[in-house]
Amino acid sequence: MREPDVTSHPPFPTQLFWGGGLLAVLCITALLYWPGLAGTFMLDDIPNLSPLAENLSMEASERAFQFVLSGRSSPLGRPLALSTFLLNDHAWPSGARPFKYTNLMIHLLNGALLFWLLWLVCRYLPGTSARRQGFVALATAAFWLLHPLNVSTVLYVIQRMTELGALFTIAGMIVYLKARLAAHWSTSARYLVMSAGVGGGLALGVLSKETAINMPLYLLTLEYTLLAAWVRLIPRPRGWSLWALAFLYAPVLAVTGWQVLRWSSITAGYQTRPFNLAERLMTEPRILFDYLQSVLVPRRAGTGLFHDDFVVSQSLTDPLTTLLAIGALTAALALAIVLRRRVPVFSFAVLWFVSGHILEAGPWPLELYFEHRNYLPMLGPLFAVVILFSELPGRLRLFGPAAVSLLIGLAAFTTWLNTSLWGSASLLAETWADEHPYSQRAQQFSASVWSQYQRYDLAELRIRRLLERIPDATSGYAALVQLNCVQGREFETVDLPRVLQGLRQGKRDPAAPETLQLIARLKYDGLCPGLDYENVEQMADALLENPKFQNKQVLANLYFIKADLGVLQRDFPKAAGSLDIALEYHPNVDLALMQANLYASVNMYEEALESVDRATQLDHHRVLGVSVKQETIEQVRRRILKARDNKQ
């Protein structure tokens, strides 16, 4: 059978039919997500977007420049993704709706691009009609667009980074395939366009999120499975192996080599995690199969952002599913490689899914479980499901489209249930807290939401239940003190010695120092009766004594809190001494500028200017090397010089 040339255009009625189908799916997706746009910010949204509020006295362009380069999620900082948040607001606090709306639009664009990518590949689906090829492409794109597992990517504002990384990955692959399958182009033209697609997609994708580095693995998966089995009349251009070595294999080898060179930093990162490297590597195969179950059997219950209650594997047999998961994953990968030409769809599904997870399920000391990590990887299994039902034998084939449509309909209904929850902060918080009783984050999120509604009784109930279930939940003890403060109550309802013991012996928890800093500010605002600054400092010292808080950056944050306490009490020696220690642990521009302002407040102008000089030395982007806060530093310098001149 002669295979079609991808560069030839299908008849206009065919384009109109499948284009209309895609438009309908996009409209349905938008309608289903609309209730969720009424939701709120959560988890990492606030720390990542709050820099929008910094330096409001500066020019808008300078503030935007600082914000775009302020990212700390990775060495590159994801500046391209951060720049898109400026489309929604230029200050903080903001409303979440415009941010979520933009996320939804990017999701729809990604769905359209995925359809295009699948259209290019499915036109070579052997032994079938053009109608079935179009159906497979559209059904897979619809299944992906409407899948409930994507809700936490689209409606969790900061995961725009994941969406954009996927967008440039898909776009780069489309450009690659257009040239790779254009047999009538010259070899040089094909290579020029292929290189632009891969190089441009990688560059823009990695500046949005590092997972875009998986694009070469996705393309290699396509080449050695579907394209190798289906597209035999359009061979790779001459010299493809050398080109692939530079554009596909080299990035993979570079990332692998970089991980080896950074191994000491990787292992050091586990000081701040409640699991070690071996436990992570044993747990992730179980998580991959849990992801896969959610992909193949869409569900609403038990989904969401908070999966810190997932049981960590302590050994290969604790739990026993650890060994089973590792064995099953190894067998699936082996079969996928061996059978890649005989059963290309199975091989594609396995290798695509694993390729998409290989970075975030690897040795890096990341959180164990997040649904948004499936955003692009789930395409492989979904494609295999659609192909499976469309290739039912004999008379059963007639029921294939109906079965696929039923699956997509169930996924859409489940997505609507999820988005309706996301649109109500209180309902969402209560649902997640009830479904994840042993998730510390779910309980704290519920308490936080009830506090916003001034239902402090319900918030306190959540925290006390949390401490009953998880006695070493460090931030829970600090949260009890905070709730007393906001209610203006005396501390007869909080056992302060027990709080100090919990802070001293609990597990590492980044929310504990943040809550402690908030308590200090509440105390300064006249709240917290029965609690004095000495008590707050005792709480900070308790965390400093906790062996699980001995990471340098965490220690710097704790000494910053002690410095803040000194400033609030107008105790210069305490503030200055604590800031010196904080700067030793984690030198950064903001601490140096705080030190400069502190010295200036007591007329120590020369020391203040030395701190400004130190801030200048520290002011450089970790990768790009450019100055990020030069204008802010110069503002501080001018203010200090003016104060010194007026004093003289």
The answer to whether position 545 is within a domain reads no
Domain span at 616: 587-648
The answer to whether position 131 is within a domain reads yes
How many domains does the chain fold into?
2
Q: Is a pLDDT exceeding 90 seen at residue 643?
A: no
User: Could you please report the per-residue DSSP string of 157-203?
Assistant: GGGHHHHHHHHHHHHHHHHHHHHHT-TTS-HHHHHHHHHHHHHHHHH
Q: How confident is the model at residue 123 (pLDDT cuts 50, 70, 90)?
A: confident
Residue at token pair 């192909």: 387
Q: Is a pLDDT exceeding 90 seen at residue 607?
A: no
The residues facing 315 across adjacent strands are: 318
Residues 6+ apart with CB under 8 A from 517: 561, 564
User: Could you please report the per-residue DSSP string of 422-456?
Assistant: HT-HHHHHHHHHHH-TT-HHHHHHHHHHHHHTT-H
Rounded CA-CA distance 305/43 in Å is 8
Highest mean pLDDT of the ranges 17-21, 277-281, 604-608: 277-281
Rounded CA-CA distance 273/280 in Å is 10
Q: Is a pLDDT exceeding 90 seen at residue 79?
A: no
Q: Average the pLDDT over 148-168 and give the result.
A: 96
- Angle at 240 (CA atoms; ends 234, 245), nearest 5 degrees: 145
Q: If you count them, how many residues does the chain have?
A: 648
The answer to whether position 556 is within a domain reads no
pLDDT reported for residue 4: 46
pLDDT reported for residue 132: 81
CB atoms within 10 A of CB 263: 12
Rounded CA-CA distance 30/24 in Å is 10
Q: Is a pLDDT exceeding 50 seen at residue 6?
A: no
Of 372, 388, 421, at which residue does a domain stop? 421
pTM: 0.91
Which tokens sit at 152? 């936490």
Q: How confident is the model at residue 55 (pLDDT cuts 50, 70, 90)?
A: low
CA-nearest of 556, 551, 547 to 268 is: 551
Of 368, 390, 421, at which residue does a domain stop? 421
The residues facing 318 across adjacent strands are: 315
pLDDT reported for residue 60: 64
pLDDT reported for residue 644: 84
Which tokens sit at 303? 């989904």
CA-nearest of 447, 443, 467 to 457 is: 447
What single letter denotes the amino acid at residue 313? S
Residue at token pair 């779910």: 442
CB atoms within 10 A of CB 275: 16
The answer to whether position 85 is within a domain reads no
The answer to whether position 444 is within a domain reads no
Cβ atoms of residues 310 and 368 within 8 Å: yes
Q: How confident is the model at residue 183 (pLDDT cuts 50, 70, 90)?
A: confident
The answer to whether position 607 is within a domain reads yes
The answer to whether position 336 is within a domain reads yes
Rounded CA-CA distance 241/272 in Å is 43
Instruction: State whether residue 88 is helix, strand or coil.
Output: coil
Report pLDDT digits (tens) over 342-398: 999 999 999 999 999 999 999 999 999 999 999 999 999 999 999 999 887 777 777
Rounded CA-CA distance 625/621 in Å is 5
The answer to whether position 300 is within a domain reads yes
Which tokens sit at 74? 């990775």
Q: Average the pLDDT over 17-22 and give the result.
A: 88
Of 421, 450, 471, at which residue does a domain stop? 421
Q: Give the chain's mean pLDDT.
A: 88
Which tokens sit at 644? 């010194």
pLDDT reported for residue 1: 38
pLDDT reported for residue 156: 95
Q: Alpha-carbon Rg of the chain, whole angstroms?
A: 27
In sign, the C-alpha dihedral spanning 110, 115, 116, 120 is positive
Q: Specify the DSSP class assigned to residue 236.
A: P
What single letter denotes the amino acid at residue 341? R
Cβ atoms of residues 423 and 37 within 8 Å: yes
